[in-house]
Amino acid sequence: MKYSNGKKYDQQMDNPYVQLWYEMVEHYLRMYLPKSGRVLDAGGGTGEFSIRVANINKNLKIINCDISEEMLEKAQEKFESLELHKRIENKICDIMNLSFENDLFDYVMCLGDAFSFCEDNNQAFDELVRVTKPSGKIHLSVNAFWGNFFGMMAKGPDKKFYFEDVMNYYQTHIIHQNCKSMKCKSFTIEELEELGRKHNLRIIKEFAAPIFTIFGKWLVDAEKLKKIKELQYRHCEDKNLLNFGNHLNIIFEK
Ligand SMILES: C[S@@+](CC[C@H](N)C(=O)[O-])C[C@H]1O[C@@H](n2cnc3c(N)ncnc32)[C@H](O)[C@@H]1O
C-alpha cells in the first residue's frame, strides 16, 4: 500500500513512542552497518532511517526507494535541509520488482512495515535477497502477529477494533480496523526465520522494538523513560517474548 502524504506521516510519527522505536532500531544499525559501501532503504518513505544511517557512517552511499512520490518528495526536502542529499539518493521503485542489479548492496533494510505492505511477501523477499551482496545483510522489521493480536483484543471497539476485525486478523494475519483491511500483514518470528531458510541465509540477530507497549505519559517523564529504556534493551532479544513484541526485527547475512 502506497502512502500519499509525507508531511502528515512525519507529523504522526513525531511522538515519544515512535522516537523510542527509532532509537532502538538505530542502536542495532550501529552494530551491523558496514564501515563503507552501499545501503538500500527499501520502502524508506520520508527517509527517517536513511538519515540515521547517513549520520552513523559518513562513508556509506544510501538509496532510499519507495513507490510513493509524495513520501520521497518529503524525504528530499529533509535530505537537502540536512545537507545529506549528495549521500542519499531517492528512487521511485517497488520492493517486489527492484530496479537494481544483483549483489549490489552491502546492507538492505526494509523497516517500519514497508515489507508488510507488499502484496506478495515472498516475491518482495526474493528481491531484497537478490540485490544484497554475498556476505551482505538484510534487515526486516514488521508488525509482530501475536503482539498485535493481544493489542487488538485488549483495545476492542473503543479503538475501532471490532470483534470481526480481530477474527479476520487471526485468520489472515492482515490488520483489520473499523471493518476494513489495513493491507498490512503481521508475522511471527518463525515465519520470518522460514523466509531466510528458503534462501540459506544465516540469522545474525533477532529483536523486537519496542518489546512492550508503554503507557504514553510515562515516556514524557525523564526518570521513567530512563527505566523503561533499560527494561526495553534488557528484554528486547528475549526469545520467549519476541512474538509478543511490537515490531519484530530480524537481520540475516547472505
Ligand atoms: C509505514 S511507512 C515506513 C517508511 C519507513 N520505512 C520508516 O520506517 O520510516 C511504509 C512505506 O512503505 C511504502 N511501500 C509500501 N509498499 C511498497 C512497495 N511495494 N514498494 C516500495 N515501497 C512501498 C509506502 O509508500 C510507505 O512509504
Kindly tell me if the per-residue pLDDT of 92 is higher than 80: yes
Mean pLDDT within 11-23: 91
Using pLDDT thresholds of 50, 70 and 90, give the confidence band for residue 4: confident
pLDDT at 227: 94
Tell me how far the alpha carbon of residue 13 is from its chain's centroid: 13
Ligand 1 geometric centre to CA of 221 (Å):
31
Strand, coil or helix: what is 32? Answer: helix
**Residue with CA at minimum distance from ligand 1 atom 6:** 44
Query: Can you tell me which atom of ligand 1 is nearest the CA of 95?
Result: 20
Bridge partners of 176, per DSSP, are 181
Largest Cα–Cα distance in the chain? 50
Q: pLDDT value at position 214? A: 84
Q: How many A from CA of 117 to the centre of ligand 1?
A: 7
pLDDT (0 to 100) of residue 230? 95
Using most ligand atoms within 8 A of CB, pick from 22, 29, 66, 76 the residue to mutate for ligand 1.
66
Domain ranges of the chain: 6-144+187-253, 146-184
Hunting for cell 538500500 — which residue is that? 40
Ligand 1 pocket residue status of 66, Cβ below 6 Å: yes
Q: CA 115, CA 141: separation in Å to the nearest integer? A: 8
Cα 141 to Cα 38: distance, rounded to the nearest angstrom: 19
Helix count (H) and strand count (E) of the chain?
Answer: 9, 9
The 10s digit of each residue's pLDDT in 115-151 is 999 999 999 999 999 999 999 999 999 999 999 999 9
Task: Annotate 155-213 with DSSP letters as a single string.
Answer: HGGGGT--HHHHHHHHHHSEEEETTEEEEEE-B-HHHHHHHHHHTTPEEEEEEESSSS-
Q: Is the CB of 88 under 6 A from ligand 1?
A: no
CA distances from 84 to 80, 118, 233 (A): 6, 28, 30
pLDDT in tens, 35-91: 999 999 999 999 999 999 999 999 999 999 999 999 999 999 999 999 999 999 999
Section 97-102 average pLDDT: 98
pLDDT tens digit sequence for 209-222: 999 888 889 988 99
Please tell me whether residue 82 adopts helix, strand or coil conformation.
coil
Are residues 178 and 162 in contact, defined by beta-carbon separation less than 8 angstroms? yes
| pLDDT average, residue stretch 172-201 | 95
**What is the pLDDT averaged over residues 216-229?**
91
Q: Write down the pLDDT at residue 213.
A: 84
Q: How far is the CA of 118 from the centre of ligand 1 (A)?
A: 9
Query: Mean per-residue pLDDT for 216-236?
Result: 93
pLDDT of residue 215: 83
Decide: 2 in ligand 1 pocket, CB within 6 A: yes
Residues 6+ apart with CB under 8 A from 148: 169, 175, 186
Best probe residue, ligand 1, of 1, 2, 108 (max atoms within 8 Å of C-beta): 2
Tell me: domain 6-144+187-253, CATH 3.40.50.970, correct? no
Share of the chain above pLDDT 70, in %: 100
Strands 105-110 and 60-66: unpaired
Residue 185 bridge partners (DSSP) = 174
Q: Which atom of ligand 1 is nearest to the CA of 68?
A: 25
Contact 245, 24 (CB under 8 A): no
Query: Measured from the CB, is residue 142 less than 6 Å from ligand 1?
Result: no
Of 140, 141, 132, 139, give the one whose Cα is nearest residue 106.
Answer: 132
pLDDT at 48 (0 to 100): 97
